């Protein structure tokens, strides 16, 4: 018996409109802070009693918790299940089963993240539109460090509502008032008579009761789980090699496909010169051109398909970008910085006057970062089938159910197939980092499945396609200027960034509408809100399109803008002759929350204690994803230029913490991800194509060069912020600042090092020589 | 024709001599623990023990394995399903994030501890060259030390 009743989600427009209409008329309470719609369970399916959209009790005492967010390593299945368990009063042990629901219930929607509000704080027309439109669309996405923020309230409400229904069922059974009953450890207890009933015995009756209108949440003082580290629910399987990643989906009689994308982005297939020979290769079943752009080779096994693809001889169509290279693209950014940047984001006070004031000390610097890519450990893949009856099913590691759904429609459309009912399965993700919110590989699988109707097709990209023909974080350039007053603090701050618009690029590939670059908060984040008190401030951005496909990349704009801004504030401190920590303290006098995080990290790192020659400390701080994170990096630069990041200290205020050890793990992982890109990562363009192809030329931090990391979590009563991305955000600037402290050299371009291969799977990093 | 054992079970393969072991395991033997991450002996996601030695299976041809004893992550627990010391340490330190790379790390670390029951940090750096994009290295290091300390001296 399936864990949950499998219900397909209809993609057709009329069905969607119909459902929305019925819900809009019939739904009540959708303006309240609690989405009561998600609380109507009322279903008993065999041995399972569904109490609401998030909680199902099984009669063997197991509790199924629906967590409609992708587990991609961040531990979200555990953290969100803890919220239900806390309110439901059940032990957090192996009886909890966490499931990514196949059904797209409106209460699972990511609307609050899209609209950048907390559900419990949202009201009025905005919340209504979010719930109605995005909810009904099945807009379920995992990203922007927003899952905990978005479900912090709804999932506790779901747990509390289920608990109250179980208590009501027990009261009816025992003939006592509900007020005499208490709950703990999965039991309802009647203190006066000493009677106890297990939830499992009450579940079927409870499921048929109406959900409470306003379930009462536990006060903070009564929490037993929230804030105490719990073991992750997904790890027992992960140490046995058991979880099913997208790559591990196996269906009967499945075909395997490998893809070759054009080396130059935007090119199409002019001709396959050796198609007949490829078709004669062992195991090869089909050679297909997808949407005129990519070549797919299908075989009985992926190995056969891939081996045949090595011999593929394609003539690609010429494009205008055939002559592009990194230097030319960087020059375009440079030029954009010098032009009048069209998009304004901050305009406070009179920056021009302050910069021109007599006696103002000017500090000015340009910074840059290259293209980089995600390199998720699990290469891109998806498995699809279009059944003879017109229904379709797809399995993929994805962060975004909506682009998944759109990808199925688009890919099958290329084969003129219009699927009826489509069932979407989100598998475990072997890393994601923003990459898996694109529909590219899903559309490819859908097209090939439609071409081979009745047969499942699994598409998997080689690592070479992932790194060399994939999606990228934009290159970017920043120009920052400040005028320092007589006290050394900035009177004016003027920032400009030139980059390719992330939302514009992502939207044009995946969405029915494309946001304009002036509305792209992702490209300017890290510069568009300044936590330092500076009276005159201005920030401008310029969208510089290239032929390189840009995508979300863990921490997006922060990944470059915070490198710019936190390097620059260090430069201001040095120009003022101040200690970088002391300087930031003075600029943060009005921000006690920031200041506390800064003080904490400085104390952890022993700021000010002398270091050996050739070593240095650097500090950086940022507010992002409603969290505040500060880091101190300690680096060594040897006589021969070898650069090592020895230690990174990290203090984070993430608001209320649910699973502290998972936050620590996210900081550790984020820091290592950030150190990799700060020191090692460059995607270079030559003749229009990416030069890098695999881990030998797109290296990663490994055990031997990963820094030691210490993390402290600040105590806070604020609602939770995000933790998936903040760990990366300050690290590049902290390292650049530390390099300056160690050597007196200011590096303003990432990566900060060059890599030298010293053996098999061994590299060392040497301080970059930059102008 | 090649015969070897996989996690203690005898296996005979025919006509697959020039197929890398990784793909034989995943496609022909249904052993999905070893993962494809790079195909060129760079990442270690595909590592398996061949006669006790940690080896990237993506570049090991099945034809070379006559008589070999092959252990994948699925074979690390004992026949009753009890976790190995190392797997237990991995859980106790809450090592995995996405988990995709972990089968390869568990294999590499099993090999290391079989040769060196109590490795130093430098020896760990020397022996463990896999890639974890999620950045679980600090916990992997701690788990190896923990397993080394927990294992009874033979
Ligand atoms: S897949 Fe074999 S080492 Fe990466
Ligand atoms: S845990 Fe994700 S790659 Fe290692």
CATH number at residue B48: 3.10.20.30
Instruction: Tell me: do B6 and B69 sit in the same domain.
Output: yes
pLDDT at A19 over 60: no
- Ligand with minimal distance to B20 CA: 1
**What confidence score (pLDDT) does residue A123 get?**
78
Distance CA A354, CA A489 (A): 12
Contact B133 A703 (CB under 8 A): no
Q: Which residues contact A598 (CB under 8 A, 6 or more apart)?
A: A581, A584, A585, A588, A619, A621, A630, A651
How many residues in chain A?
771
Report CA torsion sign: A382, A388, A390, A391: negative
B36 lines ligand 1 (CB under 6 A): yes
Considering only CB atoms, B100 lies closest to which of A74, A245, A669, namely: A245
Please give the structure tokens belonging to residue A253.
Answer: 């009689």
Q: What is the pLDDT of residues A132-176, one digit of tens each?
A: 788 888 889 999 999 999 999 999 999 999 999 999 999 999 999
Instruction: Tell me: do B8 and B71 sit in the same domain.
Output: yes
Distance CA A432, CA A424 (A): 18
Q: What is the pLDDT of residues B36-74, one digit of tens each?
A: 999 999 999 999 999 999 999 999 999 999 999 999 999
**What confidence score (pLDDT) does residue B5 get?**
98
Contact A762 B94 (CB under 8 A): no
Distance of CA A65 to the CA centre of its chain: 22
Per the domain annotation, does B80 fall within a domain? no
Residue whose CB lies within 8 A of the most ligand 1 atoms, among B19, B24, B42, for a mutation test: B42
From A443, A345, A52, A75, select the one nearest A215 (Cα to Cα): A52
Contact B96 A73 (CB under 8 A): yes
Distance CA A85, CA A160 (A): 9
Q: What is the mean pLDDT of residues A348-373?
A: 95
| Helix, strand, coil share (%) of chain A residues, nearest 5 | 35, 25, 40
Per the domain annotation, does B51 fall within a domain? yes
Give the range of the structural domain holding residue B34, as residue numbers without chain letter: 2-75
**What confidence score (pLDDT) does residue A37 get?**
58
From A526, A466, A527, A531, select the one nearest A695 (Cα to Cα): A466
pLDDT at A3 over 60: no
Q: Which residues contact A504 (CB under 8 A, 6 or more apart)?
A: A514, A515, A516, A517, A520, A543
Distance CA B115, CA B121 (A): 15
What is the rounded average pLDDT for all residues in chain A?
92
Contact A73 B99 (CB under 8 A): yes
Instruction: Tell me: do B55 and B116 sit in the same domain.
Output: no
Instruction: Tell me: do B53 and B71 sit in the same domain.
Output: yes
**What confidence score (pLDDT) does residue A417 get?**
97
Ligand 2: centre distance to CA A453 (Å): 35
Q: Does residue A630 contact residue A621 with C-beta atoms inside 8 Å? A: yes
Q: Which residues contact A327 (CB under 8 A, 6 or more apart)?
A: none
Please give the structure tokens belonging to residue A763.
Answer: 């590299």
* A596 phi and psi angles, rounded to 5 deg: -60, -40
Distance CA A531, CA A511 (A): 33
Contact A704 B94 (CB under 8 A): no
Instruction: Tell me: do B43 and B93 sit in the same domain.
Output: no
CATH number at residue B133: 1.10.150.120
Q: Domain spans of chain A?
A: 6-239, 246-319+380-460, 326-372+472-770
Contact B97 A73 (CB under 8 A): yes
Provide the β-strand partners of residue A425: A395
pLDDT at A632 over 70: yes
| Domain boundary, last residue among B75, B97, B119 | B75
Q: Which residues contact A403 (CB under 8 A, 6 or more apart)?
A: A437, A438, A439, A442, A510
Considering only CB atoms, B23 lies closest to which of A73, A302, A694, namely: A302
- Of the residues B30, B39, B43, B138, the best mutation for testing chain A's interface (the one with the most A CB atoms within 10 Å of its CB) is B138
**What confidence score (pLDDT) does residue A18 get?**
29
Please give the structure tokens belonging to residue A694.
Answer: 């695999």
Q: How confident is the model at residue A517 (pLDDT cuts 50, 70, 90)?
A: low
What CATH architecture applies to the domain A326-372+472-770?
2-Layer Sandwich (3.30)
Number of domains composing chain B = 2
Instruction: Tell me: do B70 and B7 sit in the same domain.
Output: yes
Within 60-89 of A, beta carbons closer than 8 Å to B belong to: 71-75
Q: Is the peptide bond between A751 and the residue preceding it cis, with omega within 30 degrees of 0?
A: yes
Considering only CB atoms, B99 lies closest to which of A231, A238, A256, namely: A238
Per the domain annotation, does B16 fall within a domain? yes
**What confidence score (pLDDT) does residue A41 get?**
63
Chain B: give the shortest CA distance to residue A608, in Å: 26
Distance of CA A298 to the CA centre of its chain: 31
Q: How confident is the model at residue A511 (pLDDT cuts 50, 70, 90)?
A: confident
Q: What is the mean pLDDT of residues A115-120?
A: 85
| Domain boundary, last residue among B14, B43, B75 | B75
Which ligand 1 atom minimizes the distance to the CA of B131? 4
Contact B98 A241 (CB under 8 A): no
Q: How confident is the model at residue A27 (pLDDT cuts 50, 70, 90)?
A: very low
Instruction: Tell me: do B12 and B56 sit in the same domain.
Output: yes
Contact B35 A703 (CB under 8 A): no
From A613, A621, A727, A611, select the one nearest A676 (Cα to Cα): A727
- Name the pTM for this structure: 0.95
From A701, A716, A707, A744, select the one nearest A632 (Cα to Cα): A707
Check residues A299 and A126 and name the one with the higher pLDDT.
Answer: A299
**What confidence score (pLDDT) does residue A4 get?**
25
Count CB neighbours of B67 within 10 A: 9
Please give the structure tokens belonging to residue B144.
Answer: 């190896």
Strands A63-66 and A96-99: parallel
Q: In the A/B pair of chains, how many CB contacts fall below 8 A?
A: 174
Q: How confident is the model at residue B153 (pLDDT cuts 50, 70, 90)?
A: low
Name residues contacting ligand 2 (CB within 6 A).
Answer: A 73, 377, 431; B 96-102, 132-134, 136
Per the domain annotation, does B112 fall within a domain? yes
Distance CA A766, CA A612 (A): 19
Distance CA A748, CA A388 (A): 58
Check residues A261 and A115 and name the one with the higher pLDDT.
Answer: A261
Give Cα separations from A262 to A266, A268, A412, A518, B43 (angstroms).
7, 7, 21, 30, 25
Q: What is the pLDDT of residues A452-494, one digit of tens each?
A: 999 999 999 999 999 999 999 999 999 999 999 999 999 999 9
Which ligand 2 atom minimizes the distance to the CA of A430? 2
| Domain boundary, last residue among B24, B49, B75 | B75
Q: Which residues contact A463 (CB under 8 A, 6 or more apart)?
A: A379, A693, A694, A695, B37, B38, B39, B40
Q: What is the pLDDT of residues B97-140, one digit of tens each?
A: 999 999 999 999 999 999 999 999 999 999 999 999 999 999 99
B86 lines ligand 1 (CB under 6 A): no
Please give the structure tokens belonging to residue A144.
Answer: 């922007």
Chain B: give the shortest CA distance to residue A760, in Å: 8
Q: What is the mean pLDDT of residues A106-112?
A: 87
Provide the β-strand partners of residue A499: A476, A543
Within 673-692 of A, beta carbons closer than 8 Å to B belong to: 673
> Is the CATH number 2.60.120.1090 carried by domain A6-239?
no
B43 lines ligand 1 (CB under 6 A): yes
For A655: left if phi > 0, alpha if psi spans -120 to 50, otherwise beta; the answer is left
Cβ-based contacts of B80 with chain A (< 8 Å): none
Q: Which residues contact A96 (CB under 8 A, 6 or more apart)?
A: A62, A63, A65, A81, A85, A90, A233
- Of the residues A239, A304, A669, A761, the best mutation for testing chain B's interface (the one with the most B CB atoms within 10 Å of its CB) is A239
From A38, B54, A644, select the one nearest B46 (Cα to Cα): B54
Q: What is the pLDDT of residues A596-628, one digit of tens each?
A: 999 999 999 999 999 999 999 999 999 999 999
Among A5-9, A271-275, A417-421, A579-583, name the one with the lowest average pLDDT. Answer: A5-9
- What chain A residue is nearest to B140 in terms of C-alpha separation? A703
- Order of strands, edge to edge, in the sheet holding A55-58? A43-45, A48-50, A55-58, A63-66, A96-99
Per the domain annotation, does B68 fall within a domain? yes
pLDDT at A119 over 90: no
Instruction: Tell me: do B133 and B94 sit in the same domain.
Output: yes
Per the domain annotation, does B59 fall within a domain? yes
* B49 phi and psi angles, rounded to 5 deg: -90, 125
Residue whose CB lies within 8 A of the most ligand 1 atoms, among B43, B55, B129, for a mutation test: B43
DSSP chain B: -EEEEETTEEEEE-S-TTSBHHHIIIIIS---SS--S-SSSSS-TTEEEETTEEEEGGG-BGGG-TT-EEE-GGGSS-TT-PPPHHHHHHHHTT--SS-TTHHHHHHHHHHHHHH-SS--HHHHHHH-----TT--HHHHHHHHHHHHHHSPP-
B44 lines ligand 1 (CB under 6 A): yes
State whether ipTM is beyond 0.90.
Answer: yes
SS (H, E, C) A370-394: CEEECCCCCCCEEEEEECCCCCEEE
A242 at interface of B, judged by CB pairs closer than 8 A: yes
Q: How confident is the model at residue A8 (pLDDT cuts 50, 70, 90)?
A: very low
pLDDT at B20 over 70: yes
Ligand 1: centre distance to CA B17 (Å): 19
Give Cα separations from A692 to A370, A471, A762, B87 (angstroms).
13, 13, 17, 35
Q: What is the pLDDT of residues A391-443, one digit of tens each?
A: 999 999 999 998 999 999 999 999 999 999 999 999 999 999 999 999 999 99
Distance CA A420, CA A279 (A): 32
**Cα three-residue angle A568-A650-A766, rounded to 5 degrees:** 60
Among A269-283, A327-341, A508-522, A575-589, name the one with the lowest average pLDDT. Answer: A508-522
Considering only CB atoms, B42 lies closest to which of A248, A673, A761, namely: A761
Cβ-based contacts of B98 with chain A (< 8 Å): 71-73, 377-378, 428-432
Chain A: give the shortest CA distance to residue B11, in Å: 19
Cβ-based contacts of B73 with chain A (< 8 Å): 240-241
**What confidence score (pLDDT) does residue B90 get?**
98
Cβ-based contacts of A661 with chain B (< 8 Å): 94
Q: What is the pLDDT of residues A236-254, one digit of tens each?
A: 999 999 999 999 999 999 9
- CATH number of this structure's domain A246-319+380-460, picked from the four choices 3.40.109.10, 3.30.365.10, 3.30.70.3040, 3.10.20.30: 3.30.365.10
pLDDT at A9 over 70: no
- Ligand with minimal distance to B130 CA: 1
Please give the structure tokens belonging to residue A304.
Answer: 């056969």
User: H or E segment at A670?
Assistant: helix A660-679
């Amino acid at each position: 018996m399936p864990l949950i009743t499998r219900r397909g989600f209809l993609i057709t427009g009329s069905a969607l409109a119909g459902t929305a209409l019925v819900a809009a008329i019939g739904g009540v309470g959708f303006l309240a802070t609690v989405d009561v719609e998600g609380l109507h369970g009322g279903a008993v399916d065999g041995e399972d009693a569904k109490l609401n959209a998030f909680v199902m009790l099984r009669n063997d005492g197991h509790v199924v918790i629906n967590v409609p967010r992708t587990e991609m390593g961040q531990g979200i299945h555990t953290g969100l299940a803890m919220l239900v368990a806390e309110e439901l009063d059940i032990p957090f042990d192996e009886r909890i089963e966490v499931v990514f629901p196949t059904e797209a219930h409106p209460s699972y929607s990511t609307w609050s993240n899209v609209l950048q509000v907390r559900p419990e704080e949202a009201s009025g027309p905005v919340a209504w539109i979010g719930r109605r439109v995005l909810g009904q669309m099945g807009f379920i996405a995992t990203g922007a460090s927003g899952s905990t923020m978005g479900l912090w309230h709804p999932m506790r409400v779901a747990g509390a509502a289920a608990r109250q229904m179980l208590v009501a069922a027990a009261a009816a059974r025992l003939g006592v008032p509900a007020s005499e009953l208490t709950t703990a450890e999965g039991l309802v207890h009647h203190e006066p008579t000493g009677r106890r009933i297990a939830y499992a015995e009450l579940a079927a009756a409870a499921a048929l009761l109406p959900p409470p209108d306003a379930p009462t949440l536990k006060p903070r003082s009564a929490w037993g789980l929230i804030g105490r580290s719990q073991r992750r629910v997904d790890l027992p399987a992960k140490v046995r090699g058991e979880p099913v990643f997208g790559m591990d989906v196996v269906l009967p009689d499945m075909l395997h496909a490998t893809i070759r994308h054009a080396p130059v982005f935007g090119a199409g297939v002019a001709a396959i010169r050796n198609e007949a020979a490829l078709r004669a290769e062992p195991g090869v079943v089909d050679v297909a051109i997808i949407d005129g752009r990519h070549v797919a080779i299908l075989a009985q096994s992926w190995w056969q398909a891939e081996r045949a693809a090595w011999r593929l001889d394609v003539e690609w169509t010429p494009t205008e970008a055939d002559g592009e290279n990194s230097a030319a693209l960087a020059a375009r950014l440079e030029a954009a910085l010098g032009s009048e940047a069209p998009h304004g984001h901050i305009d406070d006070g009179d920056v021009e006057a302050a910069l021109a004031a007599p006696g103002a000390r000017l500090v000015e610097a340009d910074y840059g970062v290259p293209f980089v890519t995600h390199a998720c450990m699990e290469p891109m893949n998806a498995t699809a089938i279009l059944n003879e009856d017109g229904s379709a099913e797809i399995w993929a590691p994805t962060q975004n159910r909506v682009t998944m759904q759109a990808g199925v429609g688009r890919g099958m459309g290329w084969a003129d197939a219009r699927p009826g009912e489509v069932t979407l399965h989100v598998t475990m993700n072997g890393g994601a980092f923003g990459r898996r919110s694109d529909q590219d590989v899903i559309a490819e699988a859908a097209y090939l499945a439609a071409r081979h109707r009745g047969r499942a097709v699994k598409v998997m990209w080689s690592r070479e396609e992932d790194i060399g023909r994939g999606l990228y974080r934009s290159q970017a350039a920043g120009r920052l200027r400040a005028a320092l007053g007589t006290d050394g603090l900035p009177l004016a701050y003027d920032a400009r960034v030139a980059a390719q618009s992330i939302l514009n690029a992502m939207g044009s590939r995946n969405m029915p509408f494309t946001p304009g670059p002036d509305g792209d908060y992702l490209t300017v984040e890290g510069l568009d809100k300044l936590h330092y008190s500076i009276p005159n401030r201005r920030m401008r951005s310029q969208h510089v399109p290239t032929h390189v496909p840009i995508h979300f990349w863990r921490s997006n704009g922060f990944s470059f803008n915070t490198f710019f801004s936190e390097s620059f504030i260090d430069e201001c401190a040095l120009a003022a002759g101040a200690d970088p920590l002391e300087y930031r303290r003075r600029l943060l006098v009005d921000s006690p929350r920031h200041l506390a995080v800064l003080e904490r990290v400085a104390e952890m790192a022993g700021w000010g204690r002398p270091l050996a020659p050739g070593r240095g400390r650097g500090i950086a701080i940022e507010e992002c994803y409603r969290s505040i994170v500060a880091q101190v990096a300690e680096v060594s630069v040897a006589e021969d230029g070898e650069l090592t990041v020895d230690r990174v200290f990290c203090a984070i205020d993430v608001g209320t913490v649910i699973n502290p050890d998972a936050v620590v793990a996210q900081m550790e992982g984020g820091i290592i991800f950030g150190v990799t890109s700060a020191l090692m990562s460059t995607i270079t363009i030559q003749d229009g194509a990416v030069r890098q192809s695999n881990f030998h030329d797109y290296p990663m931090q490994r055990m031997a060069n990963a820094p030691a990391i210490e993390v402290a979590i600040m105590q806070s009563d604020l609602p939770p912020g995000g933790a998936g991305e903040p760990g990366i955000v300050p690290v590049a600037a902290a390292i650049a600042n530390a390099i300056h402290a160690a050597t007196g050299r200011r590096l303003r371009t990432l990566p900060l090092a060059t890599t030298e291969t010293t053996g098999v799977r061994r590299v060392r990093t040497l301080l970059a020589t930059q102008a | 024709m090649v015969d070897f054992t996989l996690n203690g079970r005898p296996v005979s393969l025919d006509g697959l001599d020039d197929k890398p072991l990784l793909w034989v395991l995943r496609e022909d033997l249904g052993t999905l623990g070893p993962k494809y991450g790079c195909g060129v002996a760079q990442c270690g996601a595909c590592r398996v023990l061949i006669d006790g030695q940690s080896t990237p299976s993506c570049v090991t041809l099945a034809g070379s394995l006559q008589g070999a004893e092959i252990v994948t992550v699925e074979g690390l627990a004992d026949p009753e399903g009890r976790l190995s010391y190392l797997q237990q340490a991995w859980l106790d330190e809450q090592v995995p994030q996405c988990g995709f790379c972990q089968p390869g790390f568990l294999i590499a670390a099993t090999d290391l501890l079989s040769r060196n029951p109590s490795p130093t940090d430098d020896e760990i750096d020397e022996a463990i060259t896999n890639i974890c994009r999620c950045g679980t290295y600090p916990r992997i290091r701690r788990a190896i030390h923990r397993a080394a300390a927990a294992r009874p001296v033979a």
